[in-house]
Structure 1
Amino acid sequence: MEQKLTHLQWGNDLLALTLGWDDATPVHLTHIRSAAVSLHFTRNIPIVEIMTARHGHWEASDRLIHTTLGASMRVISSRQWQENGSRFLNVMQESIQDGVQATLQLELPDGCVMFRSTVEIRNTGTEVLSLESVTSWATLLGSPDGMSPDPGAWNIAQCRQEWLSEGRWGTKNLRELFPVISQGLTGHDPRSKHAVVSTGTWSTGNYLPMTLFISKYLGAAWFMQIEHNGAWRWETGDCTRDAYMATSGPTFDDHAWSHELQPNETFRSVPASVSVADTMQTLAEQVTAYRRTMNTAGDEIRHPHVIFNDYMNTINGDPTTQKLLPLVDAAAQVGCEVFCIDCGWYDDSGDWWPTVGEWKPSVTRFPNGLEEVTDTICAKGMIPGLWLEPEVIGVNSPVAEQLPDEAFFCRRGHRIVEQERYILDFSHPAAVSHLDSVIDHLIRDCSIGYFKFDCNVSPGAGTDIGGISPGAGMLRHLRAYNHWIDDLHRRYPDLILENCSSGGMREDFAQTSRFQVQSTSDQQDCRLYPAIAAAAPLAILPEQAANWAYPQASMDKETSAFTLVTTMLGRFFLSGYLNRMDTAQRALCAEAVRTYTQAIRPRLSKAFPFWPLGLPQWTDHLMALGMKDSDTAIVALWARRLDQGERVRLPIPHLQGVKADVTTLFPTQSGFGPWHAQWEPTQGLLTVDIPACNEGARIFQLTMPD
């Protein structure tokens, strides 16, 4: 008799997953191993959990897990293969009595220790299947071989996001969320959960769609991210002998989402990606490597251009030829490579918020045409850029009358209005055709090589055009928007795209994997920005993290250096009235650009972030961010509100035992107070003596001797 397969191992040389199942249980994770950690699971929960209008929970709760359909699935086939630099696994399950198939689809890029998971649902029955939630991934947290699982052994790190205060990571022990309640006496798991939910199109407007689970006691850590630019939910909870994590896209309960699946139709969940390691630092490196591998925006991100944008604390949305030309000249002098004209370039009325949508250059702001400015930018050796908000049409724009209602978000027969704007639905061909013609015209006639795509409104649950649920309409639009971005890269391979949503309100990986540049905030106070900048590389790639620097002629040298340091370990992103600066002030900006292009940029796209003082907290007086490769560490150190001098010790473990050379990379001009830095190889500590200051910052480099 042929032996029936009840488990399989899948992975690469760096990561291996063992999946199990049998005649009584659906597919689940039984073991996961990387070079850093090996975890086993003493209990099984289904990876795939499904809620429909007819199928709820087998144990009452409002969790994503413990679903009747999830428990009833049985494996019918599996397939492994390699393609385009990745390894793939499909595990097909079916609930015959319910007429539902669910295929778990895993992808593991070569050289990565992070995999992507999606689930495809097929209706194999004869009636409509009304989906209400589908997990992309669910598993217990597990424990190392020879140790017992314990929810209290884990801390959870999650990131609070808010306009102007992005990147605020905080950590709690799971027992603070789930106290011991002696549920074993009942024979049931607890019913509560800790769920984090995002609604609308600001996918990171409240929290990041990612979390870390870290256990120093177990020597293990997990990282999970949901790769979706709209509605999502992740959750964790106590499963009595272990804790679990689960991820999903939109749900009925949270997002007014349901998907009517006709017989033989399929639905694909939003992706989630997962990594496992021994420490947060190892996870950060693995996640960074995965994001680099999976970014589809082209080669420019590996050699990031230096960008000047006229908006922040400068022109502020009121550009004219007269204002721009002196800035263009000054930006070129300090070494900028892209000059982006931000909002307002299309406005003739002075009240442009409700009139946007045609995206035609203003004739009053630019009497000789916008081309006069963009041609000057080109003549100075820079790439011209423009701000655009592609997903909206002002209520008073002529385009609002030219496009049909079906091309806009609608609910109950009415166009949705947010802040005097309609929202385009990119699943409608008229919306896409309009934006394609706008982009084609601006590239052809104005030589635009860089677009800053902004999104300053969020339309709630979604659109019900076509009789679908609002959540389904939102998901349809966002997938169509992603396709439009992919098509732009196909049509214009050298085009540079910046993703901005009122700063960092859409920093999910569905967006950041398609863009070369990611705005991290709209924060205008240079004293507050370092907390955002230092945290950014845990959410996005360092080389795409556009942290604003906006030096001004009114600033003293230390404050100017402080704001310049904020941008230098990411995508160099400059603003400020450079043309009003004196020679020394402009020379400091030029030194920052030169240091970046000569010493930092060549390493940045291959370096990994680390945090010598831990992840920054919003009110910290001292913050540090490092970038490291095999033989070098570059460290940015900020000080705020130091009433007296302070000695700070920065651990740099990967150079411990190495007699590294320490240099100050920036600033090196005369006139700056000394920040004495000394490397202690035995302890692996960089010791820096910081003088009293309101705000000050330095960048140090540690290099292994030849």
Structure 2
Amino acid sequence: MSSPGRYIEWKAGALDIDFFIDSEEHVYIHSIRSPGSPAVRYSMDSELDHIFPLTQLRLVGEGSTFGTSERLVFSATSSRLQYVEHKEWIEGDGTRRIDIITTDPKTDLFVDSRYSVFEGVPVLRSTTRVRNKGSKALHLESLASLSLGYLNRGYKEWWNEFEVVVANNNNFREAQWQSFDFATVGMGDVGDSDFDRPGTRAAVIKSNLGTFSTNGSLPMGALTRKDKKQTFMWQIENSGAWNWELGNIVHGLYLIAGGPTDQHHQWTKTVHPGEDFTGVTTALSVIDGDLESSFVPFTQYRRRIRRHHEDNVKLPIIFNDYMNCLKGNPNTERVTALIEPARKVGSEYFVIDAGWYSDVEGWWSSVGVWEPSSTRFPGGFKLLLDRIRQAGMIPGVWIEPEVIGVHCPEASHLPDDAYFQRRGVRIIEQDRFHLDFRHKDVISRLDSVIDNLVQNYGIGYFKIDYNIDVTHGTDVNASSPGDGMLGHRRAYMQWINNIYDRYPHVVLETCSSGAQRLDYHMLASHSIQSTSDQQEPYLYSCIAATVLTAVTPEQSASWAYPQPEYSDDLNALCLVNSLMGRIHLSGRVDILNEKQRRLVVEAMQVYKDIRSHIKDCFPYWPLGMPKWHDNWLVVELRHEKHRYIAVWRRGGNGHLDIPLGPQGLSHYEVLFPRDFSTSLSWNSDSSSLSIEIPHAPSARLIYGTSP
């Protein structure tokens, strides 16, 4: 028999979501399902021990009502939140929203839990805003925007039936997914326990610390059934600190996700009477399918939240002189030698990477002026940029705006409170100061840098890099170091969007020692993302094969750096690395032989032929998630009745059967490289494509369609 209470049945277009209000006016998410699916009303008597309030938040001085305060569940504050009202509406673009207001009668804290579902996109977006309507200041220690209990509803033996999936993300080894059964992460059935509440106090907790938002892990995770019939997937949208927790209580699994916390990030936020504060946005998909299929709704969702830019429509080819090429040491002679070869192979942008601003090679601790070096470019930087334009390419430069080197003369021109500090002392990280973009003088200075480069030099592309990691932020004009960090990150993104407002045609690339900021706080604004600084094409292939889990194809720029000393097969692999997303072309294109140059031209022309499809494609992994040392890697881009399949052979047997499923496609051909020995055959009985690649390492781009 169900507990007394009532439901809010929200028909959100691409999703149906039920909220339950119990007899004490506490509000919970009861179910998330495909539209039209039956709403199964389980016994709420048994479920109320498994599900949690819409918001998990903590106030200073208040701990948990049960268990351990190492976890975010059972917050004393959250347990008091009671329903006030809710409002549903539809935006002009079809987006459906619901605001559910709850309040804590003890403190007069009001919580607005906003949920959004974009038209045709089965992903639940959630953001939480708190407002202090009391008479005393309140001090937040955590504020999660997603709180969902009993994920295993209907499946009692969760420790046998589900597995947790995390995405490791490190320098030179980005976006590598790993699945774990619950025993491996220290969770399982523990029988009866204290207070007649069976369940372990364990949890899988993933958290980021510092200004590298994705150093160690992507702000993502998944819970998937081993029989591949259901998957929960989530992401957190912050370019600083974040935290998610997947745990067990009673017989159920729960998920909490949000921004920084005091426990993990030295984050507290004082909210004075009459003030409000908005937490970090999260997103969740729930599908009746496997892990790999979950990236379809997330790719839809990411396209929907992203700022519109023609760069994501045109997908131009970018030559950048850094990777396995000039390596941050440009001058007039070296850059000039690359311009015509870059043009001839098909480049449309030419980016001069690091070093253009420094008279010396050891510029790390002196960056920050962002004026061209007269030593490197004695004839003038403008003359060199004119040569790039005369070759039919748009010039770009590398810049690292958040830092100033300790030996830079500009370091003394800004006040101390324009920098990250702790207890009145400027933070120095790797011989660099960190700028605080909440300060008006910082914005004014960096605006003038961008204006000068765009207006006086004609720069049309900025590769915006970031290469240090300040772990806890700044306590200047902040409730805590974590609060200063979050404020800076939000101010920085406002600065980025202001650049777009002033110069809509300019392309802004986000790069952070490769992809150490691979998050959709950054990528909701930047049109293009560098996926790695990996210099070995053989290893880069696994990044190219997996990074589409974290970023849309049309934003995902992987390096292709052909070299004269590489074999033809290795150069082919190197080029295929970039064909499933965006091309960052580099390498010594100026000294390739004619055969090698033709291979690059062929790859660039193939890309130009297919890029109008890439921006609408969805990724899929027919062999499952690639592993770092797999001999074979496969990723597929699906577009209506077209398939683009990248296949890398890095070792092992030269034959592979790729299960593609009954797609109605039976014609497959090699798009690149066309003249390399390859055997393809379609097996209609098994719906699989057989491929033979005689040499390794090598790669192919396959095209599939109806005959």
User: One fold, TM greater than 0.5?
Assistant: yes
Match of 2:214 among 196, 201, 204: 204
Q: Distance in 2 between matches of 1:288 and 1:471?
A: 30
Residues 148-179 of structure 1 show CA distances to partners (whole Å, capped at 9, x for unaligned) of: 57353211110111111111110012243312
User: Distance between the aligned counterparts of 1:474 and 1:659, measured in 2?
Assistant: 51
Corresponding residue number in structure 2 for 1:33? 33
- Residues 1:464 and 2:475 are matched in the alignment: yes
Question: 2:106 aligned with 1:97, yes or no?
Answer: yes
Matched ranges for 1:137-148 at <5 A: 137-143=146-152, 148=156
Go from structure 1 to structure 2 and tell me whether the alpha carbon gap of 1:36 and 1:245 turns closer, same or farther (over 3 Å shift).
farther
The whole-number CA distance in structure 2 between the counterparts of 1:502 and 1:681 is: 45
Quick check: 390-399 or 277-286, which moved more?
Answer: 277-286
Q: In structure 1, what is the equivalent of residue 60 of structure 2?
A: 53
- The Cα of 1:52 is off from its aligned counterpart by 1.1
Shift of 1:425: 0.3
Per-residue Cα deviation, 1:524-543 (whole angstroms, up to 9, x for no partner): 01110011110000111111
Within a 5 Å distance, the mapping from 1:159-178 to structure 2 comes to 159-177=167-185, 178=187
SS of the aligned residue for 1:98 comes to coil
Gap change, CA 1:84 and 1:519, over 3 Å in 2: farther
Q: Which digits, 9 at most, give the CA deviation of each residue in 1:614-640, with x for residues without a partner? A: 111111111011101110111111111
Worse-matched range after superposition: 277-286 or 309-318: 277-286
Q: Which amino acid aligns with 2:109?
A: V
Aligned match of 1:283 in 294, 309, 317?
Answer: 294
Matches within 5 A, 1:362-377: 362-377=373-388
Measure the CA separation in 1 of the matches of 2:378 and 2:671. Answer: 44
Instruction: Note the alpha carbon deviations across 1:174-233, whole angstroms, 9 max, x for none.
Output: 243312211456423432211011011101011011001111448211110000000111
Residue 82 in structure 1 maps to residue 84 in structure 2: no
Distance 1:271 1:355 in 2: 36
Q: 2:669 aligns with which of 663, 672, 675?
A: 663
C-alpha distance in 2, partners of 1:472/1:142? 31
Distance in 2 of aligned mates of 1:174 and 1:685: 33
Runs of 5+ in structure 2 lacking a partner?
none
Provide TM-score, normalisation by structure 2: 0.95
Tell whether 2:563 aligns with 1:556.
no
Letter in 2 for 1:168: Q
Number of paired residues?
Answer: 692
Distance 2:531 2:37 in 1: 32
For residues 494 and 36 of structure 1, do their structure 2 counterparts lie closer, same or farther at Cα, with a shift above 3 Å needed? farther
Per-residue CA deviations over 1:654-677 (Å, capped at 9, x if unaligned) read 51xx252111000013xx3x2201
Moved more, 492-501 or 463-472: 463-472
* Cross-structure match for 2:539: 528
1:37 and 1:690 mapped to 2: Cα distance?
Answer: 45
* Native 8 Å contact 2:508 2:527 kept in 1: yes
The answer (yes or no) to whether the contact 1:37–1:278 under 8 Å persists in 2 is: no
Gaps of 5+ in 1: none
Code of the aligned partner of 1:639: R
- Root-mean-square deviation (Å): 1.7
Conserved in 2, the CA contact under 8 Å of 1:164 and 1:503?
A: yes
**Matched residue, 1:638:** 648
2:544 partner SS? helix
State the Cα deviation string for residues 84-136 of structure 1 (Å, max 9, x = none).
Answer: 42111100000112221111011111111112101111112211111000111
Secondary structure of 2:397's counterpart equals strand
What do residues 38-92 of structure 1 show as CA deviations (whole Å, max 9, x unaligned)? 7867342112011111221111311111111111100101011122421111000
SS in 1 for 2:651: strand
For the 8 Å contact 1:151–1:243, the answer to whether it is kept is no
What TM-score comes out, normalization by structure 1 length?
A: 0.95
What's 1:305 paired with? Answer: 316
8 Å CA contact 1:25–1:71 kept in 2: the answer is no
Distance 1:662 1:35, change over 3 A: farther
CA distance in 1, matches of 2:639, 2:183: 37
Separation in structure 1 between the aligned mates of residue 89 and residue 35 of structure 2, nearest angstrom: 23
Aligned to 2:454, the other structure's residue is in SS state helix
Partner of residue 652, structure 1:
660
**Alpha-carbon distance between aligned partners in 2 of 1:148 and 1:601, rounded to the nearest angstrom:** 46
Which residue type is aligned with residue 131 of structure 1? L
The 3 A distance-change label for structure 1 pair 619 and 597 is same
Contact 1:664–1:699 (CA<8 Å) still a contact in 2?
yes
Does residue 1:591 correspond to 2:639, yes or no? no
Does residue 701 (structure 1) correspond to residue 703 (structure 2)? The answer is yes
Residue 78 of structure 2 is matched in structure 1 by 70
Deviation sequence 1:326-369 (CA, Å, 0-9, x none): 21111110111111110000001322111111100000111121
Q: Counterpart of 1:354 in 2: which secondary structure?
A: helix
8 Å CA contact retained: 1:153, 1:218: no
Q: 1:168 to 1:36 in 2, by over 3 A?
A: farther
Give 2:351's aligned residue: 340
